[in-house]
Amino acid sequence: MNIVIAGAGQVGYSLAKALMEENEVTIIDNREVAIEEIDATLDVLSIYGNVENSYTYRNIHKDIDLFIAVTNSDEVNLLSCLIIDNIVDVKEKIVRLRNDLFFNENIQKKLGISTMIAPAHDVAEQFNYLADFPHINNVKTFDFSKAFLLSVRAYKEFESALITTFINKFDNKIIVAGIERDEKFFIPNESDIFMPNDLIYFLAFPSVINSLKEIFSDISDKQDIKNCIIYGANQVGIEISRVLANKNLNIKLIDKNLKNCQNANMILKDSVEVIKSSYDLDSPVENSFATINVFIASTMDDEFNIIKCIEAKQKGIKKVIGINNSAKYSTLMRKLGIEVIRGEKMSAYYSILEDMNALKIITQKTFCGEEGIVYLREIKQNSKLINTKLSISGKTLDKGNFYIQRDKKFILYKDVQTLLEDDILIVFAQKKDSKLISNCLKQ
């Protein structure tokens, strides 16, 4: 594919790096230092220039498969979509937006935008499940499956259990996607066992999710969620506050910057208590909740988020969540027992890659700090796979766990004679084996 990326910040750079191996990538930025870094580290065409200026596009390919606008300005992203249309033929456009005012169908249609990505909103949406399922972490949903991909931490006194025995209790409405144990991630087989402190990833239907609380959580972790403190009144913190307030939780949104507090107060309109404070868990303000059930560190500084989450755990707060802005801190946060939610920029990066993949026949999502990957392929009405099966070698089968979702149940792929319409083929694998699995599923 011929791909043009407007903006060489963290998201644009990461996208260019991920896409350059199998595509012709051009990246544009008006910061000389950003272009110099790209030239030194990436095998892409870099252009120093303003994406709002038609002259900038004079040397790019005249037929573009995909234009991705991820500058830090919504106005620039939208305007660049309009300008590039007058210069070259663009098949698909993906735009990152931050302001809700621009996120509407009229603008999308007029500018010919295929997909609008709202990363702060996407981050906050994961907290929709916090009040209903306080024992689970990191919920991911899928367009054509009602199942959730989620993680649960087995408590310290958890008694080891055989995976096969566990699965049989749930009438095939849950499967194990992966396990992180002692900082190592692996795809288990049914003869493996769950161990204390395991971070276990499941694909499960909502009807069985509450049962996981009784199995993997101790008594102190089974309390209802009522009171929450959020550090960081940035856009992500505001969106999280809005979601949790709609779930009738008591929220204190805290920031040391007065302008951030004023902006949050104007947006949230008294649905959340916004407080200017110095981020001190010993202060009377932070201690004013009789019982804090949830602590969320949502600033853009991962090291700060880690420190404050550790302090919150030392205070005895059971549910401690850190917004993760850089992949290099993801493993450390999980190691420290902090629940990790991808931040705005990481969410934008993964959302765009997943959206690109959704244009094909396979949907994919990564989990556990990108160490695990799940593939889904829906068997549609006109699929050539109906009444047959994919030809999968033994080597490929050994690299992942293959299932079929049929009638709200999961069946091992090897136990299915042929594929039927509306089946969903599901594969869990390690990221290092992604190319092998992906090529197999494209048959």
Predicted local confidence at residue 318, as pLDDT = 82
- Distance between CA 339 and CA 310 in Å, rounded? 11
The two structure tokens encoding residue 272: 């959340």
Predicted local confidence at residue 309, as pLDDT = 95
Predicted local confidence at residue 222, as pLDDT = 53
Tokens 């946060």 — which residue? 333
Predicted local confidence at residue 223, as pLDDT = 64
Predicted local confidence at residue 49, as pLDDT = 92
Predicted local confidence at residue 13, as pLDDT = 95
Predicted local confidence at residue 221, as pLDDT = 54
Residue in 84, 48, 44, 42 with CA at minimum distance from that of residue 66: 84
Average pLDDT per consecutive 10 residues, the chain (443 residues; last block may be shorter): 94 94 93 94 93 88 91 93 89 90 86 91 88 83 88 86 87 92 90 91 90 72 79 95 92 94 92 91 76 91 95 89 91 90 92 75 84 91 88 86 92 92 93 86 78
pTM of the model: 0.87
Q: What is the DSSP string of 71-131?
A: -S-HHHHHHHHHHHHTTSEEEEEEEE---GGG-SHHHHHHTT-SEEE-HHHHHHHGGGGTT
Predicted local confidence at residue 104, as pLDDT = 84
Can you list the domains of the chain with their CATH numbers? 2-117 (3.40.50.720), 135-222 (3.30.70.1450), 223-347 (3.40.50.720), 371-441 (3.30.70.1450)
Report the chain's terminal Cα–Cα distance, integer Å: 20
CB count in 10 Å sphere of residue 202: 22
Predicted local confidence at residue 210, as pLDDT = 83
Predicted local confidence at residue 14, as pLDDT = 94
The two structure tokens encoding residue 221: 């972790």
Predicted local confidence at residue 217, as pLDDT = 72
Residue in 291, 302, 376 with CA at minimum distance from that of residue 340: 302
